[in-house]
Structure 1
Amino acid sequence: MDINIRKAVIHNVSDNDQAQLRDTIVDAIQRGEEKLLPGLGVLFEVIWQHADEQEKSNMLETLEQGLKH
């Protein structure tokens, strides 16, 4: 069985508005379930691919600071 996680995640949220996307992200983080991590990774990948260099720099700075805590 060949499951394409990227396509499945994108299909499941492609019609969601910002509030629904936020709820999806917050819910996945709050649950803390390992099985939800790939989906969050796909969402991050979409964000990264559509970010300009300044946004990427900001994300990396935020990530770096978050990892130091």
Structure 2
Amino acid sequence: MELDLRQAIVQRVQGKENDELIDIIEGSIGAEEMALPGLGVLFEIIWKNSTEAARKKMVTVLHKQLPSGQA
């Protein structure tokens, strides 16, 4: 049975307690680029299951943290 990347990542985190999920996320942030697809899958799950207000807040936080691009 072949698993795609999304399924493999979801299986890795299924059944984890909140503290374990925090450890996985924090351990992936700033790690090698190999961790980025995993964070993307987790973000996709969060995004799909967030309210419109929560999505707007996430985008606002992201926007504030991105460089302005102005020199």
What is the TM-score of this pair, normalised by structure 1?
0.89
CA distance in 1, matches of 2:38, 2:28: 9
Please state if 1:45 is matched with 2:44: yes
- Look up the match of 2:17: 17
- Look up the match of 2:28: 28
Please state if 1:61 is matched with 2:60: yes
Once the two structures are TM-superposed, the CA of residue 44 in structure 1 deviates from its matched residue by 0.2
Task: Considering Cα pairs closer than 8 Å and 6+ residues apart, tell me whether 1 or 2 has the greater RCO.
Answer: 1
- RMSD value over aligned CA atoms? 1.4
CA distance in 1, matches of 2:33, 2:3: 17
CA distance in 2, matches of 1:20, 1:38: 19
Q: As a proportion of its length, which structure holds more helix?
A: 1
| Matched letter for residue 43 of structure 2 | F
| Matched letter for residue 60 of structure 1 | V
| Matched letter for residue 39 of structure 1 | G
* Aligned sequence identity (%): 36
Give the aligned length: 67
